[in-house]
Structure 1
Amino acid sequence: MNIKGKNINIFGDTSKPLPVVYLHTVRGEGHAVWEQCQKIGTKQFVLVEIDGVNWNNDMSPWPLGKLFPEDEPCGGKAEEWLGILTQEIIPQVETQLHVTKRFIAGYSLAGLFAMWSVYYTYLFDGVISGSGSFWYPDFLDYVHEHEFKKKPESIYLSLGDKEHISKIELLTTIEDNTRSLYEYFQKSGINTIFELNNGNHFQQGAWRMAKGMKWSLKH
């Protein structure tokens, strides 16, 4: 399925009432995540992959310049993209689904987007953020200064234990910031977990996301 120039891939049984996880990907990793979910015995659900977004623009809540010379700046167009997702993509996709609950999931910048999105829309019941880019400037302040549109039933946070090791000072804040969010959400009475995995940002991404989906669907 193609909606607004984005590839929409649906995995799972669409004939019965099930929870749905919406996952943004950068290189079509949805199938790999789905396979990992089956391997680790995840509860039945439907995975909706949205592939082909402009990663640095659509997944970033506000503009940010380059982190290093070869990098691309972030355009801060998350609000614009969230409007397309909630008003056009989700309604079209769900004409063929029987939704019991909705989760928003993502890795890296998409993990940041997932967490940010529940401050703008009431559509999602839970957040699954793998290695979310919580180094993003001012994001912790944003969380402390804003209220959820609808309080999530669950929030899953994970990170690699080597992700804080970086020559870029901003990126070294990721573990402290993620732990800070975990503690804040827990104190807010939200069912929240933080898992620290082995490795850096680029290791076992599909497996890490599958772990988050398994935990979230159980809770």
Structure 2
Amino acid sequence: MNIKGKNINIFGDISKSLPVVYLHTVHSEGYAVWEQCRKMGTRKFVLVEVKDVNWNDDMSPWPLGKLFPGDESCGGKAEKWLSVLTQEIIPQTEKELHVTKRFITGYSLAGLFALWTAFNTDLFDAVISGSGSFWYPDFLDYVHRHEFMKTPESIYLSLGDKEHISKIQLLTTVEDNTRSLYDHFRKAGINTIFELNNGNHFQQGAWRLAKGIKWSLQQIAK
């Protein structure tokens, strides 16, 4: 399926009433995430993979310059993309689906975007962030200064235990910031979990996301 120039892949039984998980990917990881979920015995759900987004622009909430030579800057166009997602992608995709709950997930910048969306739309029931880029400047302040449009039923946060090791000072803040978010949401009474996995940012991304999806789906009945 192609909507607004974005390729949409759907995994799962679309004939049944099921939770739907929206996943933004940069390297077509949707199938890998789906297979990991199957291996884990995750409860039935539908996975919607949204591909071909302009990663650094669409997944970033406000502009950020290059972090190192050869890096790409972030355009801060998350608000514009969220409008496309909620007004175009989701309505057209769900013409074929029977949605009971709607989750959003993503890895890295898309993990940051997933959490940011909860402050800017009431469409999602839960947030799953894998190795979210919570080193992003001013994001913690943003969270503390804003309220959710709809409080998530659950929030899943994960990180690799070596992700804070970096020559770039900004990136070294990621674990402290993620733990701070976890504490903040727990104190607010939100069902939140933080899992620290082995490895750096680039290890077992699909597996880490699948863990988050499995946990989040388990919370529905609680």
| Normalised-by-shorter TM-score class | over 0.9
Superposition misfits of 4+ residues, deviation over 4 angstroms? none
In the alignment, structure 1 segments of 5+ residues that lack a partner are none
Matched with 1:93 is 93
Q: CA RMSD, aligned part only?
A: 0.3
3-state SS, counterpart of residue 127 of structure 1: strand
Distance in 2 of aligned mates of 1:4 and 1:70: 30
Distance in 2 of aligned mates of 1:93 and 1:124: 15
After superposition, give the CA deviation of every residue in 1:132-159 in whole Å (9 maximum; x if it has no partner): 0000000000000000000000000000
Distance in 1 of aligned mates of 2:165 and 2:105: 24
Letter of the structure 2 residue corresponding to residue 185 of structure 1: F
Matched with 1:123 is 123
Distance in 2 of aligned mates of 1:5 and 1:25: 15
Matched, 1:174 2:174: yes
Distance in 1 of aligned mates of 2:185 and 2:114: 15
Instruction: Report the Cα offset of residue 50 of structure 1.
Output: 0.2
Matches within 5 A, 1:124-139: 124-139=124-139
After superposition, give the CA deviation of every residue in 1:158-203 in whole Å (9 maximum; x if it has no partner): 0000000000000000000000000000000100000000000000
Letter of the structure 1 residue corresponding to residue 29 of structure 2: E
Letter of the structure 2 residue corresponding to residue 114 of structure 1: A
Q: Could you tell me the percent identity over the aligned residues?
A: 81
Matched with 1:8 is 8
Instruction: Report the Cα offset of residue 15 of structure 1.
Output: 0.4
Matched with 1:202 is 202
Matched with 1:42 is 42
How does the TM-score come out when normalised to structure 2? 0.98
Matched, 1:214 2:214: yes
In the alignment, structure 2 segments of 5+ residues that lack a partner are none
Letter of the structure 2 residue corresponding to residue 57 of structure 1: D
Distance in 2 of aligned mates of 1:22 and 1:157: 16
Matched with 1:163 is 163
Distance in 2 of aligned mates of 1:195 and 1:120: 25
Distance in 1 of aligned mates of 2:186 and 2:43: 24
